[in-house]
Amino acid sequence: MDWFDSWALSLAVFIPVVGALVILAIPKAREYQIKVVGLVASIAALIVGIGILSRWNWDDGGYQFEVNKGWLSAIRSNYHIALDGISLPLFILTLVIVVLCIIYSWNHWPEPRSPKMLLFLILLLETGMLGTFVSLDLILFFVFFEVTLLPMYFIIGIWGGEQRIYASIKFFLFTLFGSAFMLVGFLALFFLSEPHTFDIVELSANGGAAAAVISSTAGLWIFAGLFLGFAIKVPMFPLHTWLPDAHTQAPTVGSVILAAILLKLGTYGFVRIALPILPQAAHSWAPWIGLLAVIGIIYGSLCCLAQTDLKRLIAFSSVGHMGFVMLGIATLTPVGINAAIFGMIAHGVVTGMLFFVAGSIHERYHTRDMSRLGGMLSSIPRMGGVFVLVAFASLGLPALAGFPGEFTSMLASFEPAGGLSQSLFRGFMIAAAVGTVLTAGYMLYMLQRVAQGEVPGEYAGHHLHDIEAPEYVSWTPLIVLTVALGIFPSLVFNVTNSSVVPMFEQIFHHAIGG
Amino acid sequence: MQILELFWLLPVVNIIACLLAFFFGKTVSRGKAQVWTLPAIAFSWVMSILGAVAVIGDSHLAHEGITKTYKWFEFGPDMFFQMGIHIDGFAVVMCLVVTTISMMVQIYSIGYMRGEPRYVEFYAVLAVFTAGMLILVTADNLFLGIFGWEIMGLTSYLLIGHYYEKRENSNAAIKAFITTKTGDVGLIIGAVVVYWATETFNFGAVNAKALEGEFHAPLLLVACIALFIGVIGKSAQFPLHTWLPDAMAGPTPVSALIHAATMVVAGVYLVARMWPTFVTAMNVHIANVNLIALIGAITAIIAALLALVQFDLKKVLAYSTVSQLGYMIFALGIGAWGAGVFHLFTHAFFKALLFLGAGSVIHSVHSNDMRDMGGLRRIMPRTYWTWIVGTLALCGVFPMAGFFSKDEILASAYHNGYKWVWAIGLAVAFLTAFYMFRATHLTFHKNYRGHGHPHESEGLITGPLIFLAIPSAIIGFIGAPGSFNLFEKWATPAAVEETIAKYPVLHPHPVDTTTFVLAGISVALALLGVLVATVVFYWEKTPGDIVERVAPIRYLHRFLANKYFLDHLYGGIVYGIRKPIADACYWFNQNVIDQVLNLTAAGTLELGKGTYLFDQNVLDGFYNGSAVGTDRIGGFFRKIQTGNIQQYAAVFFAAMALLALALVFAVR
């Protein structure tokens, strides 16, 4: 199976784009064939992913399925890809989410109806996302990172709501703005490292430490550039304002992919690139990152309380939840990073699911205005029940997916990495804990408006469909994951911890001296 | 194979029962969801009985218990989380309480909830609630305990909001969840502090470290105060008690199970389980005032006063529950572990009995308001006599169960140097008898004032009442003071015994004349309460308008009728401020942050326009020598409107490349 070990990642990353090209070749009228090709391509990629899981060495915290070939020799950029315990969960989540999105869309095509274009864009997007998670070369990473941008821009801009143009441009410009600074950071890393390299492993303090020669001042500036690029994607307060618009306007599958995967590109960037390459700068910036993270938690939750639009509420909730992820990262401890990756997966599953349900609600009621919704538990009880379950997962109820990440993130911030102010981070922990109450507040407020109460008069006579077949198929895996991750956090922690611990032992013990 | 090692099955079978009821309740069992959940709870009950037999037969087992763990997840060899059970006499007692009351409530609900909406879901949620409580009481560590604790919070929310069509019910559900969640901030912080101070969540290990002084003292105090805030929320202690009376919006069986006998004692259980830690942190053995005793005593008295002015039968019982929870908490706070836990045990039976009895009445007269009742003694004899047993037990009249537990608490307060707590406890004993007999007279005596024709409830409802009346009447004897106290012998964990042995103040007091005098005083006060209530509400010897005529009583009445204005305070301040702050945040988001960025974008846009105009008009114009028509400018603006991104991208990247070069050369 040697060929599999060297080809698996490339296959998984590029099968979707091949599928996308095949779709382009099929005439628009043959819709069924288009759908089948899209589904087959995404499932084929997922099967490769399952193959990777089956051959994964669970005890090895290093890179697996590694490929390192020359690519752009002129700028010493290589086709260097691999997975480790940090990227594997995100990689698999991406494969799963895309399949589920395509299944969900089977009979739910947003207007203007064009399965061909939408599937083409989704598959292109999948390649971009998967590529980002496997890249170990800064230029390769940047290319994939940017590849995700255009499809999402078109998905929002073409199939979005009334203000889709505004939302899509805002999304594009914000991300582009961040990417530009990120690219500056990458270039600076290349020119200042010794030897000049774009290779993440060589640059990392635990690998070649080629970035060790960078002066601390330059490191601070470069980190700031990377921070802008990643923080906008997360998004962190106060760079988050593109998110509510993008989410509110995007079609359902767009919102799901955006929430479940695209936001994680930012947090993943911190864990994969910013921290290991510039540990000292990270150490200097950590208190500020932590501060912005807890502001995001409190502030995002407060904004949720003021919402009347269901999707906008869920969008703002992402600001709060990603705050917990960033708080975990800011502690610069193995527990914190584990918490962050768990938080990313949990948020992907739970918020992705929330957007799915919100989309189905919109489709049935033709409104997202919570003052006009209500009584879902009575009129469509199954969907109402799923909604309640997922809302409780989102508010961090133990035994559901949201809790382990939040709790371990708070656990980590009680004892941040050596040299960081303990009292400051303990204050962050208390603020974050208060944030959980606010989170509960807006989630229950949302349930009261949407799931509980009487069925509003305007829908009383209508027959609303409860969960339908494509919804069952696409939601069941996420619901199972929501419960399974909550009861068995080791599903993620065992994988991540094996890579996080060695990474930390080397970076922070060597670079900062404990 | 030791029976106690199988106790992990207790929560598991109830969870399975919940899933079966949920998925097959409507189809396979045609709506009779109890066929799935009753076998599970009956199994758990039998297991608990067998467990009790095992610990009664083996005192070593009762003290030390057995532990079974498995590694849950880990962050390296010295930082791991375990899922495990620790079953000792105390845990068995708790399992017995939980399964007995759950089983009775499930039988009772077959009759009580018949024909109600969402019957299947009701049973499924009851089963998972029971599982949550069983997780908490069997857990060997705080982290797993939090799981059970929060699962109960969810089910409490769902059941209070069972009739969610009415906005006030869903409001009550939200209030209950958010108030307890506010307390949970303390619980979570406390758990984190406990972890870092002792490097474990294991109850036994934490207690041992606290006793041996290995728990860093300032952190110990912080941890205990934080955990106690969680207790205040969950066990409805002052000042977070206001959710419990509102929680009566749920169906009455739910009030009996969750909001009287089990979930609300979760906080008491936590303090009792971690008692050695709390005693050490709060200096219970030295001081004669501490946070736990203070909060418990305040809660006991203020809730008892509130119960005086209620006309809703369930609310009388709700405030009574708050008051009795205060009793349990201050018992633990004055160092009377055995008495406090024994009161938890007896209270569960007679308070569940009273709630179920109230449910029987409400089911029959279709009203919660005692002014619509009266004279039900003759119409509902079984409900009446079981109610009387429960009432006498709650009032602490010899030889009912409540007498032994309550008297033991008061005697311990007296002996352990907490004389002020003893005085408050006596006052509460008087008030308890007063409000309970007020309720009894209004509900069962005199003539019927309501509408329709009430009748005795069916056997499925009165059966559990009779079943629960038996322990309410006689179970107190197992906790009789002195060497007769079998309960403490079976239920006291080794760590608690060590604590008591370590601090002389906490040693059991002797049974002598003082004991009988103290018991006499508390019983006399209870009887006085009965007498006063009878004079006022049965013989009606006081002028009826005394409340209106005498100003101090009028003000007091208003003060109590408005629940000390606490709800107004919370409503006005907490909820009132939420909206403005949330709105302000959102306004800030839309009008400040977003505007700054929009303006920056607009500025960049203008810059781009300028550049482009320069390019098109000046450069291009120069080259072409041609004037620019207005239509071209118009076309340009249309392009801007629809998002001509490439230009910005190009300009941006050019600028960034320059910046990169500048950075590289500057810092080189």
Rg of chain A (C-alpha set): 22
**A-B C-beta contacts closer than 8 Å:** 169
Does the pLDDT value for residue B154 go beyond 70?
yes
Identify which has the larger pLDDT, A69 or B663: A69
Does the pLDDT value for residue B626 go beyond 50?
no
User: Is residue A199 classed as helix, strand or coil in its secondary structure?
Assistant: strand
Does the pLDDT value for residue B634 go beyond 60?
no
Residue from the list A299, A437, A452 with its beta carbon closest to the beta carbon of B170: A452
Q: Considering only CA atoms, which of B375, B270, B362 is closest in space to residue B316?
A: B362
CB contact under 8 A, A415 and B586: no
Does the pLDDT value for residue B376 go beyond 90?
no
Model confidence band, residue B618 (pLDDT cutoffs 50, 70, 90)? low
Query: Is ipTM over 0.85?
Result: yes
**Which residues in chain A have their CB less than 8 angstroms from residue B120's CB?**
none
Round the average pLDDT of chain B to a whole number and report it. 84
Q: How many CB atoms lie within 10 A of CB B373?
A: 25
Contact with chain A for residue B79, Cβ under 8 A: yes
Model confidence band, residue B638 (pLDDT cutoffs 50, 70, 90)? very low
The token duo for A492 is 């993620």
The token duo for A512 is 């900062």
Q: By the 8 A CB rule, do B94 and B137 touch?
A: yes
Residues of chain B with pLDDT > 90: what percent?
A: 42
Q: By the 8 A CB rule, do B582 and A305 touch?
A: yes
Does the pLDDT value for residue A167 go beyond 80?
yes
User: Is residue B147 classed as helix, strand or coil in its secondary structure?
Assistant: helix
CB neighbour class for A417 (10 Å; exposed up to 12, middle 13-18, buried from 19): buried
Does the pLDDT value for residue B647 go beyond 80?
no
Does the pLDDT value for residue B350 go beyond 80?
yes
Given this model, what pLDDT does residue A130 score? 96
pLDDT tens digit string along B582-606?
677 667 666 776 666 556 556 655 6
DSSP structure string for B349-412: HHHHHHHHHHHHHHHHHS--BGGG---HHHH-HHHHHHHHHHHHHHHT-TTSHHHHHHHHHHHH
**Which residues in chain A have their CB less than 8 angstroms from residue B193's CB?**
414
Q: By the 8 A CB rule, do A246 and A168 touch?
A: yes
Residues of chain A with pLDDT > 70: what percent?
A: 98
What does the pLDDT average to over B614-641?
A: 43
pLDDT tens digit string along A29-59?
888 999 999 999 999 999 999 999 999 998 8
- CA distances to A311, A351, A450, B328 from A369, in Å: 9, 19, 9, 47
How far is Cα of residue B6 from the mean position of the Cα atoms in its chain?
27
Given this model, what pLDDT does residue B102 score? 95
Given this model, what pLDDT does residue B546 score? 64
Contact with chain A for residue B199, Cβ under 8 A: no
Given this model, what pLDDT does residue B586 score? 67
HSE-up of B282 (CA within 13 Å, CB side)?
Answer: 27
Does the pLDDT value for residue A502 go beyond 90?
no
What does the pLDDT average to over A209-224?
A: 86
Given this model, what pLDDT does residue B110 score? 92
**Which residues in chain A have their CB less than 8 angstroms from residue B194's CB?**
none
**Which residues in chain B have their CB less than 8 angstroms from residue A180's CB?**
652-653, 655-656
CB contact under 8 A, B178 and A437: yes
What does the pLDDT average to over B210-222?
A: 87
What does the pLDDT average to over A397-410?
A: 94
Identify which has the larger pLDDT, A504 or B525: B525
The pTM assigned to this predicted structure is 0.89
Residue from the list A172, A184, A399 with its beta carbon closest to the beta carbon of B663: A184
pLDDT tens digit string along B198-207?
989 999 999 9
Q: Considering only CA atoms, which of A289, A283, A186 is closest in space to residue A236?
A: A289
Does the pLDDT value for residue B560 go beyond 80?
no
Given this model, what pLDDT does residue B630 score? 37
Contact with chain B for residue A334, Cβ under 8 A: yes
Given this model, what pLDDT does residue B171 score? 87
pLDDT tens digit string along B160-179?
999 998 888 988 898 899 88
Given this model, what pLDDT does residue B582 score? 65
pLDDT tens digit string along B395-448?
988 888 888 899 889 988 988 888 899 999 999 999 999 899 989 988 998 888
pLDDT tens digit string along B122-143?
999 999 999 999 999 999 999 9
Does the pLDDT value for residue B651 go beyond 80?
no
pLDDT tens digit string along B46-103?
999 999 999 888 888 888 889 999 889 888 778 889 899 999 999 999 999 999 999 9
Nearest chain A CA: its distance from B182 CA (Å): 6
CB contact under 8 A, B74 and A493: yes
Does the pLDDT value for residue B7 go beyond 80?
yes
Does the pLDDT value for residue B194 go beyond 80?
yes
Round the average pLDDT of chain A to a whole number and report it. 90
Residue from the list A304, A407, A490 with its beta carbon closest to the beta carbon of B188: A407
Task: Write the secondary structure of A46-61 as one string of H (helix), E (strand) and C (coil).
Answer: HHHHHHHHHCCCCCCC
Residues 6 or more apart in contact with residue A145 via CB below 8 angstroms = A128, A132, A179, A182, A265, A269
CB contact under 8 A, A335 and B75: yes
